[in-house]
């Protein structure tokens, strides 16, 4: 929120400093929506031109924005959309540890991807060390590459599945990885050594929801992501629903079939057992099929599956249909309860494309009481498997947008 100076001459320099710091943050956050001229910033935020010029100047000094208006002073033509977030200067590093892969993504202030690296992983459920070693190696390589290009790394946020304590960085329970009470933030920080950026940990689906919300441009959204686990997030009035115990979004553990398959959570017939990645793969192929080879890159395997479906392979088409029908069952329930403007299908669902989407839309429309599903728009994610790592990187950058003065970068 914008704060105006009272000008009462109270002499409270500290208070004025806090106001200016807040206003610098307001201008920087406004630029997250896109480049603006100083006049536009002034109009949009209701600040005098002279104040905007000072605040923009401060952000230029901090190395967080570029100001072509200043560069073009004295030049010809009307300057427009001249103030922009500075590309490549500072980034957040997001890391996702999933059952199938580890992914590292660096986003800069304008939200552009500076680095996107991933490695398949075959977890040893009895020993988490190999997974953490591989994660630390990927993060260390990313830090080296980013520093070599002169990009400052603000921090590292790791997206982990299951119940995660954000305050302590401990993964309380991740059933699909076999982790319980694992101090993930500490373990990674120890491996990265001194001088590494601060490491934090959050829930993968929650971070994926943050990323999807940022690109969806709607105030209410339901995100459902499919990997081996199925989870999601709920956004209402542009606010992520955390819940009383910060564990909202365990959409995969709605028991929809009391006589269904056993779930790692201890229940039977959870949504996850019906529409999770493992279930789709077992519907679509035998255990020895390359589609189910854990050592191969998951996105390459899914491309193989969609190619088979496109070619009319009966087993694959049936598998997609069955997943779509069960997705419709769970989503119909959720849309009736939550009435979101948009449902985003992420993870492997987004890779199954139009055949899955059209069937799910029909199922949801048939199950939601409001006419035409209340106008709810079911979409495939454009971020796919990158959503959690992108959301993680964005939450790192939130620190910069909240307090730019604490995160200046040298201006070359």
Residue closer to Zn ion by CB (options 108, 272) is 272
**Nearest approach, Cβ of residue 224 and Zn ion (Å):** 15
Report residue 266 as tokens: 């201890």
Query: Count of CB atoms within 10 A of residue 85's CB?
Result: 23
Are 306 and 348 contacting, i.e. CB atoms less than 8 angstroms apart? no
Which of 118, 123, 128, 253 binds Zn ion (CB under 5 A)? It is 253
Q: Tell me the two tokens of residue 365.
A: 């429309």
Q: Residue 220 CB: number of other CB atoms within 10 A?
A: 18
DSSP symbols for 123-159: -BTTB-HHHHHHHHHHHHHHHHHHHHTTPEEEEEEEE
- Can you spell out the DSSP letters for 367-378? H-SSGGGGG-EE
In this structure, what token pair is assigned to residue 362? 């029909």
Determine the interface stretch with Zn ion among 101-109, 268-276, 383-391, 396-404 (rule: CB under 5 A): 268-276
- 263 near Zn ion, rule: CB under 5 A: yes
Least Cβ distance, residue 327 to Zn ion (angstroms):
16
Q: How far is the CB of 272 from Zn ion (least distance, A)?
A: 6
Question: Nearest approach, Cβ of 337 to Zn ion (angstroms)?
Answer: 18
- Measured CA angle at 19 (ends 13, 21), to 5 deg: 100
Nearer to Zn ion, 29 or 268 (CB): 268
Please select the residue that binds Zn ion; options are 27, 222, 270, 389, rule is CB under 5 A. 270
Give CA–CA dist 127/409, Å, rounded.
40
- Residue 265 lies near Zn ion (rule: CB under 5 A): yes
Among the listed ranges 23-31, 36-44, 134-142, 266-274, the one in contact with Zn ion (CB under 5 A) is 266-274
CB count in 10 Å sphere of residue 238: 10
**Does the footprint of Zn ion cover residue 256 (CB under 5 A)?**
no
Stretch that binds Zn ion, among 142-150, 221-229, 252-260, 303-311 (CB under 5 A): 252-260
Distance CA 208, CA 387 (A): 5
CB atoms within 10 A of CB 173: 16
| Window 125-164: contact mask with Zn ion (x via CB under 5 A) | ----------------------------------------
Site for Zn ion (CB under 5 A): how many residues? 5
Which region among 37-45, 111-119, 270-278, 364-372 touches Zn ion (by CB under 5 A)? 270-278
Residues that bind Zn ion (CB under 5 A): 253, 263, 265, 267, 270
């Amino acid at each position: 929120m914008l704060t105006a100076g009272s000008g009462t001459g109270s002499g409270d320099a500290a208070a004025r400093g806090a106001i200016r710091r807040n206003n610098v943050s307001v201008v920087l956050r406004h630029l997250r929506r896109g480049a603006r001229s100083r006049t536009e910033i002034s109009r949009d935020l209701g600040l005098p031109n002279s104040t905007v010029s000072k605040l923009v100047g401060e952000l230029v000094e901090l190395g967080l924005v570029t100001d072509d208006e200043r560069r073009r002073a004295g030049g010809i033509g009307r300057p427009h959309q001249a103030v922009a977030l500075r590309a490549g200067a500072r980034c957040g590093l997001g890391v996702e540890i999933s059952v199938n892969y580890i992914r590292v993504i660096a986003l800069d202030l304008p939200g552009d991807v500076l680095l996107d690296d991933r490695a398949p992983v075959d977890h040893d459920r009895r020993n988490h060390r190999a997974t953490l070693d591989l994660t630390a190696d990927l993060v260390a390589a990313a830090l080296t590459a980013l520093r070599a290009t002169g990009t400052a790394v603000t921090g590292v946020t790791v997206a982990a599945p299951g119940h995660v304590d954000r305050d302590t960085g401990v993964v309380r329970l991740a059933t699909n990885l076999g982790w319980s009470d694992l101090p993930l933030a500490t373990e990674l920080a120890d491996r990265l050594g001194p001088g590494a950026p601060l490491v934090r940990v959050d829930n993968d689906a929650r971070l994926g929801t943050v990323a999807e919300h940022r690109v969806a441009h709607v105030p209410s959204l339901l995100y459902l992501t499919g990997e081996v686990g199925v989870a999601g997030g709920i956004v209402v009035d542009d606010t992520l629903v955390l819940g009383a115990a910060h564990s909202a979004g365990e959409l995969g553990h709605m028991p929809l079939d009391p006589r269904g398959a056993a779930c790692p959570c201890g229940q039977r017939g959870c949504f996850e057992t019906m529409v999770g990645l493992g279930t789709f793969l077992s519907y679509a192929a035998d255990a020895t099929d390359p589609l189910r080879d854990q050592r191969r890159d998951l996105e390459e395997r899914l491309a193989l599956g969609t190619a088979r479906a496109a070619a009319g392979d009966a087993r694959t088409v049936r598998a997609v249909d069955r997943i779509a029908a069960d997705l419709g069952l769970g989503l119909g329930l959720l849309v009736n309860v939550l009435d979101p403007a948009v449902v985003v299908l992420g993870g492997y669902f987004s890779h199954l494309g139009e055949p899955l989407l059209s069937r799910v839309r029909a199922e949801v429309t048939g199950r939601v009481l409001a006419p035409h599903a209340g106008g709810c728009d079911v979409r495939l994610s454009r971020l796919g498997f990158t959503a959690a790592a992108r959301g993680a990187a964005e939450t790192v950058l939130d620190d910069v947008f909240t307090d730019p003065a604490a995160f200046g970068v040298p201006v070359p």
